């Protein structure tokens, strides 16, 4: 069963290649386009659909403010966790 599945996933080399005369098998391409081709097409489509939308100064200020607030809250949360964990680790290591 395994051999049949492996052979069905393989295809003969294209005519004109070096291995075509020998009948070597190559793995079949699973996807139609490469990764970078898909990224290029999706990026071009996104630019075309949003061509006339621009980033206003209000949107930019909103992104910056939300980023600063989120970063500050994350920093405070990490400080609070470290402040609570350090005494417990100190007690743990002093007992060893």
Q: Is 30 in the same domain as 76?
A: no
Q: Is 47 in the same domain as 70?
A: no
Q: Is 31 in the same domain as 69?
A: no
Q: Is 40 in the same domain as 27?
A: yes
Q: Is 46 in the same domain as 58?
A: no
Is the pTM higher than 0.75? no
Q: Is 43 in the same domain as 73?
A: no
Q: Is 62 in the same domain as 80?
A: yes
Beta strand segments in 1-96, E? 10-12, 25-27
Instruction: Tell me which residue range forms the domain holding 13.
Output: 1-51
Number of domains in the chain: 2
Q: Is 2 in the same domain as 44?
A: yes
Q: Is 47 in the same domain as 65?
A: no
Q: Is 29 in the same domain as 46?
A: yes
- Spell out the per-residue pLDDT of the chain, length 96, in tens: 444 444 444 444 444 445 545 556 556 666 688 889 999 999 999 888 877 777 788 888 999 999 999 999 999 998 888 888 888 888 888 887
Buried b / exposed e over 1-37, threshold 16 CB at 10 Å, is eeeeeeeeeeeeeeeeeeeeeeeeeeeeeeeeeeeee
Which residues does 61 contact at the CB level (< 8 Å), separation at least 6?
none
């Amino acid at each position: 069963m395994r051999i049949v599945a492996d052979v069905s996933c393989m295809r003969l080399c294209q005519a004109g290649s070096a291995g075509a005369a020998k009948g070597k098998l190559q793995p079949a391409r699973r996807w139609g386009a490469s990764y970078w081709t898909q990224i290029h097409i999706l990026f071009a489509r996104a630019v075309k659909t949003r061509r006339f939308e621009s980033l206003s100064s209000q949107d930019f200020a909103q992104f910056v403010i939300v980023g600063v607030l989120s970063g500050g809250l994350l920093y405070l949360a990490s400080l609070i966790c470290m402040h609570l964990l350090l005494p417990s680790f100190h007690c743990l290591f002093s007992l060893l």
